[in-house]
Every structure is written in C-alpha cells, then in structure tokens.
Amino acid sequence: MQSFRQKKVAVIVAHPDDETLWAGGTLLSHPEWSCFVACICRGSDADRAPRFAAVLQALGATGKMADMDDGPEQTPLPIPAVAEQVLQLLPFTQFDLIITHNICGEYTRHRRHEEVSEAVFQLWREQRLASPELWFFAYHDGNRSHFPQPDPTADLYLPLPAGIYQRKKALITDIYGFSHDSWEAKIIPSAEAFRTFSTVAEAAQWLNRNRILP
C-alpha cells in the first residue's frame, strides 16, 4: 500500500455531507493532499450547495456538484449514466488515490451510495479513471440495528484524534447546519474505516461477495 502522502486524491460521493461523515477526519488529517470532491446530487439545492462549498474550503479541498435525481423514491439510476456524470465532474482522470462509497452503502439502505460505488469501480476497472489505489468507505448499521459504525475488520481503521473529531463534528453542525440532535450529528463516527484495493481482481472479488444491486 502507498503511504498516506498522496498528491492527488479524488473523493467521489452521492451527497453533500458524505465526504465529511465518512472521510472528513482523514481529509482533515492530511492537509498535504490535493483533494477534489465530486458529488453527484443536490447541485441545485439552494441550501446544501453553498454549504458544500464552505465545507470544502474548511477541508482545504476543491470540488464540484451535479444534480442527479435524489428523490425519496430513489428510482434506480443507470450505472453508465452515473459513471459519465462522475467523469464530467472530475477535473482529470488520473489520481494517486480514489475514495468512494461502499458497494453495500454505509447504512441500510441508500441506493445512491451503492450506485456511486458501482460506477466508480467500473470506471477504475475500465481504466477510465486511473489510480494505484481505490478505497471504499467501510461502515455498517447491522441491518438498521444501530447507527452506522466503522468496521473494525476493515483494512484501515483510523481512530480520530479529539481535535480532528471536533473539527469534523463542527463541519456537520456548524457549516452543514444539522442540529445536535439530528441523525447526521448523532452518527458522526469518531473513527474512520476503509476497504483498500490496489488491483481490480481483488476489488472485484470483494464487490461480488457484497454487492446488493440491482
């Protein structure tokens, strides 16, 4: 595995706040990274879009949002369409590290998380996105039996220093504006976990065991 001193990092997510909830502490811990956050939903949301921009500034990152459907019905999106949207958002296609959603999501169940994961993996497999490493968020909620928790069996399990955790929490409550008793504030993990892959074959094997789609 490469060291943490990556130069170009892409974080590819479904929603504004996913980058913070699932990887915000890691990003805050590595200001030397040149990080771009691509978010496929809520680009026209007059509340969330400017908050996303403010969070990126606090993270020392840049990024861009699109406006794919995110209605409550969660009508399935074609994976090729999600993949093309991701490519349109990214400023280039070669990175030192790509981080994205888990193929089975971070909790039960959000289809957009799963679709982004599938699309990013397909782009990486087809070499339309190039990176020596692909990381998937590694969280679970025990089929709704508890709040999402980082998986202690993941390849990377990173407890956050208290100062980093407080900065991450402030991004959710102070900038994104979620109340302290909101679901988002209650689930903020104090550790972050990732499944890490350096070969398509290893990633494909893991995805095939865990895939929920269609």
Instruction: Establish how many alpha carbons lie within 13 A of residue 24's alpha carbon, considering only the half-sphere containing its beta carbon.
Output: 26
Q: Cite the DSSP H helix spans in 15-153.
A: 18-29, 48-59, 79-89, 111-125
135-166 pLDDT, tens per residue? 999 999 988 899 999 999 999 999 999 999 99
Distance of CA 202 to the CA centre of its chain: 20
Q: What residues does each domain of the chain span?
A: 8-210
Distance of CA 175 to the CA centre of its chain: 18
Percent of the chain with pLDDT over 70: 96
Mean pLDDT of 18-24: 98
| pLDDT given for residue 7 in this prediction | 83
Distance CA 203, CA 177 (A): 36
pTM of the complete model: 0.95
Confidence of residue 1 (pLDDT cuts 50, 70, 90): very low
Q: Which fold has domain 8-210?
A: Rossmann fold (3.40.50)
Distance CA 152, CA 56 (A): 28
| pLDDT given for residue 19 in this prediction | 98
Q: What is the β-pairing status of strands 156-159 and 139-140?
A: unpaired
**Residues forming a β-bridge with 97:** 9
